[in-house]
Every structure is written in C-alpha cells, then in structure tokens.
Structure 1
Amino acid sequence: MTSTDQQPFLSVRDLKVHFSTEDGIVKAVDGLSFDLAKGQTLGIVGESGSGKSVTNLAILGLHDRKRTSLDGEILLDGKELLTAGERELEKLRGNKMAMIFQDALASLSPYHTVGRQIAETYRKHTGASKQEARARAVEMLRRVGIPQPDVRVDDYPHQFSGGMRQRAMIAMALVCDPELLIADEPTTALDVTVQAQIMDLLKDLQQEFGTSIIFITHDLGVIADIADDVLVMYGGRCVERGTKKEVLRTPRHPYTWGLLGSMPSLDHPVDVPLNPIPGSPPSLLNPPTGCRFHPRCAFPEKVAGGLCATERPLLDVVDGRGSACHLTPEQRADLLADLAGSRQN
C-alpha cells in the first residue's frame, strides 16, 4: 500500500497469531501482510473476531508469549518486533508506538488523576522531573482540546465526559511523540458529534506530528473519513486491500460488497432496505476450508469446480491493490453492476 520507491515505515509479512486453548488452536490471524508509509493512515475494517485487534496487539508485543504462537515478520522502521525482548518492547511502547483503546474509562486508572497518568508515561520514557512532566501533561491536554487544562489536569477520569476521556487517552498516547499510533475503535462508544470531533482531532494531530496511524473499526463510514488505505479482514485473513477510493468505490470482494450493502446511505431512498450479511463469522477453532467467507457468500456457484469450498484464494496484490477471491475480474464487474442496480431500485 505504499509506493514502490518509498520504504514502508511499518511492514508486516505473513503474520500468524495462534492461541492454544482447551478446545484446540485458535487461528486468530493466519497469514497477514501489509505495509504502512510514514505519516499515512491505514484503516483496518471487519466484523468482530476478524483479527483486527489481535494483529495490532502483536505489533505492540502485548500477547502472552507462553500461550501464543507468533510467526512471520513485523518491521517497525527496520526494527524486527516479533523477536524483540520485553525490555526492548517496553522502550518502544509509548515512545516509538502507542495505542488508543476503545474504552477509555476501563483503560484509565480510577485511583489517579488524569494528569498524573499522562505525566508518568512521559517521565518513564524521558526521565523528566515531576514538574516538567506535569507541564507536559497540561500542554498535551490543551493540544487535544480539553478546556482549562491547568485545572482539569488534577481531575480523575470519572470527572471527565466520555469524549473528554477519549481525548485524554489520545493525549497520553501522543505525550512522547510516537511515530506509530494504533487506534482501536476509539469512537465506537461516543455519539456522532463527539465522534466527528475525535476524528478531526486525530487528523489535525497527525498533520502536526507526522504520525503513522492504524485505525481499527467495523464502520466503513469512519474509514471513508480518515483512512488513506484500507485493509478488509475476515476470519483472520486479509480479503481485500487498496486505497480508500479503490475499496469503497470499486470493491472486489463479496465480503466488502456485503459490508457496504449493510450500511445506510444518504444517496439512496430511505425506504430501500439494508442487506445484512447472512450467517455468522467463522469459528477460528475450526475455520471453513477454502475461502473462509464461502459459507456466507452468495456467489460460490459462479466459480467452476467448487474451488471456493476447497482452495484458499490467493491475495494477488498489484501496486497495493488486491483481493482474495476466485471470481474472475469479469464476473466481479458484472455482479457489482447488478448489486449497484438493485440497490438503487
């Protein structure tokens, strides 16, 4: 997803994250590859259980390695992360890379002020004094739009609104100027007005700091607002990737068609029904053979020889654009035109 003459800042190659359980091996991520350029935003989209968060916890080195099998390669600015030790990863977390979690109230300690939590993060990575760290916390709260930051720095998380807590989490994540920011559905629990404010804030801060962002969501509307490139995940694998314009305007995979078809749109009449994807996401303990989406797909009979149920489709990527589907380009074009026509009627 980066240009051929630009070295990716983050490179993930054939990542596998498998968990050992009493019931068997959970293949949460099963052969995932992507790149992220400096200062760009990659949107990772998919249903719950598709492997989005598991992927990014692997990047941060937050999996329990005693219970987790990690394979593949993760290079952050040329540094291999999967083989890095815990002490080395601790230095990178917060300093080189940071994460904004979905539930700010659960992520912030209720026993310490917001300012202290931001300041302690800064002190750990910079060795700053308490006074310097407090001043930095006030500065970051101001940057993320908290009113009266010199006063609110001494408030506890429960004294902040949901939107303000999320802003405080962003301040904590950015306090050491990380080069990679992972945002794990940071706006899901917020109302649409606050959600828009948080999105604008992230874009403004990205311009200011030049941060690379991975934005995890199940909402393609959010992707349309913030992402440069899009990675669509299903069943622990990537099924489609490309620029935001390519994926949203000319999607190639039936799963992406399903995601788009289940979204309301201002461009269509209000009485046009939405078309949810039938069935449920696959069990990653015993995933379907072949294409993992084929039990829910409406078009497997279009593919000769029953390949959808028996053979894993390859993710053929050319210039950052690709999809993992056995349908031919001609079949995809015809089916997509039919779907667009039925959506408008």
Structure 2
Amino acid sequence: MSTLSQTAAGPGTAPASSFLSVRDLYVHFATEDGTVKAVDGLSFDLERGSTLGIVGESGSGKSVTNLAVLGLHNPLNTAIQGEILLDGQELTGASERQLNRLRGKKMAMIFQDSLAALSPFYTVGRQIAEPFMKHTGATRREARARAVEMLRRVGIPQPDLRVDDYPHQFSGGMRQRAMIAMALVCDPDLVIADEPTTALDVTVQAQILDLLKDLQQETGAAIIIITHDLGVIAKTADHVMVMYAGRCVERGTVKEVMQRPQHPYTWGLLSSVPRLDSSVDTPLVPIPGAPPSLLSPPPGCPFHPRCGFTDQVAGGICATARPELPEGERRGSACHLTATQKEAVFIEQIHPRLR
C-alpha cells in the first residue's frame, strides 16, 4: 500500500472504545485521464459488536474505502494518505506480509459477487479450509471438519456432503452463505460485507442479514455493511454514514438518519424509495442530474449542482466553499444550510414524503 508524501493528522483523537478508526483517508488512482479522487478526506470510527452501514450511489467511494482498510488496492497506481487503526495497529503503509497476517484472522471481507470471488477450480470446502489452516496451523482433516462446521453454521443443508461441491453447484444464496462461512472461519474481529444481498431474492436477502446479525451476537465482531439499499441499512446497522463523491455528507444513528435526515442528498435518497402504503400512481422523486466526475469534482459542495436548496444559502457559497462535518460529533451533516433551515425544509417538504 503506497502513501502520498506524508500522513495527514486526523481531526482529533479517536474514541478510546473504537476498534477501527479511520482519520483523513484519501485514496487516489492514477489513470491516463488524470487522478481519480475516489476517497477525499474521510474519517469514521467503529466499535466492537457494532454495525456501521455505508450508503451511497455507485462511485461514491464505499468499496474503495474498505478495500483500503484491507490493503487490497494495487500499490502501483494507488496513492493512500491518512490513518487507519485496527485495534491500535496502523494499517496505512503496512507491508504485505503484515496485512496477510491480519486478513482472514483479524479482518475479513464478504465480496459482492460470490461467483467471481470463489475459484471455480477448487471445492467450496477447500476454499473455506485454506485460511483456517494458514492462520491456525490446523491439519487438513481438522480444517475440513471446520469447513463442514462453518457450512452448517451458515445454514447449508447436508454440509458434510456439500463441502466437496464446486461453486457452480451452489445456488446464488448458498454461494453467498459459503462466502460468509469463508470470511468467518477464523472468527475475525472485523467483517466487511460489500453488497452482501446483491442479486438475491428478498427471502434469501432477509436470511443473509439475519445470519450476519446472529453471527455478530455469537462472536462480538464489528461489521461494516456497504450497500445502496436503505432497507438493508434500516434492518442491520446501528450507525449510518452517507457518502457522496468520496466524502461523508451525513452520519448518525440509524434512527437519526432515517427519521430526521439533515442533508439534501439523504433527503433525495429517502424520497426516491417507493412506499408500500402509497398509491400506485404516486410518482417517485428522483435526484436530478448525475454523480460528479471524480477526475474533476465541482468546487464548493460536491452535491450543489444537483441540490434544489442552494438558493436558500446566502452569497452562493455552495458553489465556492466546501462544507465540513462538525468535528468530534457522531451526528452531523456537511451542508451550508443552517439547522433552522434544515428543520424547516424537512418538516415542510421531506417529512410528508416519508410518512
């Protein structure tokens, strides 16, 4: 993992209870067209036994952030600056050997596309057993028994037989369960689930989310759920971080963000979700425009070209000054609207859509 010229100082000291602490994280990719600023000054904390939901459109920096935590970016074209502390251990600039000792044992990732993430050349059982042998020194027989145990734990029927099947012999839901088994085989302290319910039907989605919650209660792991689905966030997360253009634009508890959102982008996300109790001819309220290019983000607030409330901010500063999250607070939004203006807009325009 390469770094920029120097590590930037974080905005204050992380809480003592934080198991994962990210401070002023920047992730830039060098391309033929220029530098892509995929993550642009991100800070957050996560405690053991807690679930953080990261939500935002495609390209907002959700997966890039968490791949940086695991050290999975290509160092040849990636520049990373900032501080990533996992249980007090600095990960930014750590060697590949150091990261390999942590991946699987201390931290693990459930990837979005289980069919692509699992090798077609090896059985599911062998792929689950491999990290267990690597990190514990277990024999092949012991590792196979552990793989069977994990498949049973995640609800795979007849695990002693299915352990010798290949990924293509599993259904989509079963492959996702196998991915979870592989990620949790060493009982890691941090689990990152990248769109764990993508391409699954709603019944299997609910089963997967319940499974993650049950396993968290058993192991006390810290979990990060990356998704664009606000329903998944509402069901699983304790805290929410809304990302836009590589930055956090709003954060808070699930109840705070879902019931009292403060940022125009979050208002747009919530307003665009169809409701079961609304009339079939009720139009959805989409967010106008498209996400900005991360090669050349707009000046000022990155959301201002799509925001319908810039006329309420005096001096046109939305287009010139970038709003910042309040330092040292777990609840807040990066927006130039005053607290009074946010409350008025929410009550008059947004709340009626969400009722």
**TM-score of the superposition, structure 2-length normalised?**
0.94
Contact 2:190 2:221 in 1 (8 A): yes
Selected match of 2:72 from 62, 70, 87: 62
Counterpart position of 1:76: 86
Residue in structure 1 matching 2:286, options 254, 276, 284: 276
Matched, 1:171 2:181: yes
Letter in 1 for 2:87: D
Q: Corresponding residue for 1:266?
A: 276
Does 1:100 pair with 2:113?
no
Q: What one-letter code is carried by the residue in structure 1 that aligns with 2:353?
A: R
Q: Give the aligned residue type for 1:101.
A: F
Q: Which residue of 1 aligns with 2:223?
A: 213
1:232 aligns with 2:242: yes
Deviation at 1:64, TM superposition (A): 1.1
Alignment of 1:112-131 (within 5 A): 112-131=122-141
Q: Name the residue aligned to 2:95.
A: 85
Following TM superposition, by how much is the alpha carbon of 1:268 offset from its aligned partner in structure 2, in angstroms?
Answer: 3.4
Deviation at 1:118, TM superposition (A): 0.5
Rounded Cα–Cα distance in structure 2 between residues aligned with 1:308 and 1:110:
50
2:343 is the alignment partner of 1:333: yes
Which position in structure 1 is the counterpart of 2:153?
Answer: 143
Contact 1:73 1:81 in 2 (8 A): yes
Contact 2:299 2:322 (8 Å CA) reproduced: yes
Instruction: Check conservation: 1:300, 1:308, Cα contact below 8 A.
Output: yes
**For residues 107-156 of structure 1, what are the alpha-carbon distances to aligned partners after superposition, in whole Å with 9 as ceiling and x for unaligned?**
00111110011011211111110000000000000000000000000001
CA distance in 2, matches of 1:319, 1:344: 26
Out of 162, 165, 168, the residue aligned to residue 155 of structure 1 is 165
CA shift for structure 1 position 273 = 1.4
When structure 1 is superposed on structure 2, of 29-38 and 334-343 the one drifting more is: 334-343
Distance 1:5 1:19 in 2: 30
Gaps of 5+ in 1: none
Q: 1:319, CA displacement in angstroms?
A: 3.8
TM-score by length of 1: 0.97
Correspondence 1:26 to 2:39: no
Q: Shift of residue 65 of structure 1?
A: 1.4
Query: 1:176 is matched by which residue type in structure 2?
Result: C
- 1:36 Cα deviation after fit: 0.2
SS in 2 for 1:265: coil
d(CA) in 2 for partners of 1:130, 1:70 = 38
Amino acid at match of 1:79: Q
User: How many positions carry a matched residue from both structures?
Assistant: 342
Asked if structure 1 preserves the Cα contact closer than 8 Å seen for 2:128 and 2:182, the reply is yes
Selected match of 2:60 from 50, 59, 67: 50
CA distance in 2, matches of 1:206, 1:264: 30
**2:337 alignment partner, SS class:** coil
Contact 2:267 2:350 in 1 (8 A): no
Partner Cα separation in structure 1 for residue 117 and residue 87 of structure 2: 27
Instruction: Evaluate the alpha carbon distance shift between residue 298 and residue 328 of structure 1 in structure 2; reply closer, same or farther with a 3 A threshold.
Output: same
Q: Partners of 2:198 and 2:148 in 1: how far apart? A: 26
For structure 2, list consecutive stretches of 5 or more residues without a partner in the other structure. 1-13
Judging changes above 3 Å, is the alpha-carbon distance between structure 1 residues 273 and 87 closer, same or farther for their aligned structure 2 residues? same
**Range 204-213 or range 259-268, more displaced:** 259-268
Residue 8 of structure 1 corresponds to 18
8 Å contact kept, 2:268–2:287: yes
Q: Which residue does the alignment assign to 2:47?
A: 37
Instruction: Output the amino acid matched with 2:334.
Output: A
Say which is worse superposed, 191-200 or 261-270, in terms of deviation: 261-270
* Alignment match of 2:262 (pick from 252, 260, 273): 252
Q: Cα offset for 1:344?
A: 7.1
1:268, 1:344 within 8 Å by CA — same for their partners in 2?
no
The answer (yes or no) to whether the contact 1:317–1:323 under 8 Å persists in 2 is: no
Q: How many Å apart are 1:342 and its aligned residue?
A: 5.0
Match of 2:305, SS state, is: coil
Q: Match of 2:353, SS? A: helix
The two structures, once aligned, show a CA RMSD in angstroms of 1.3
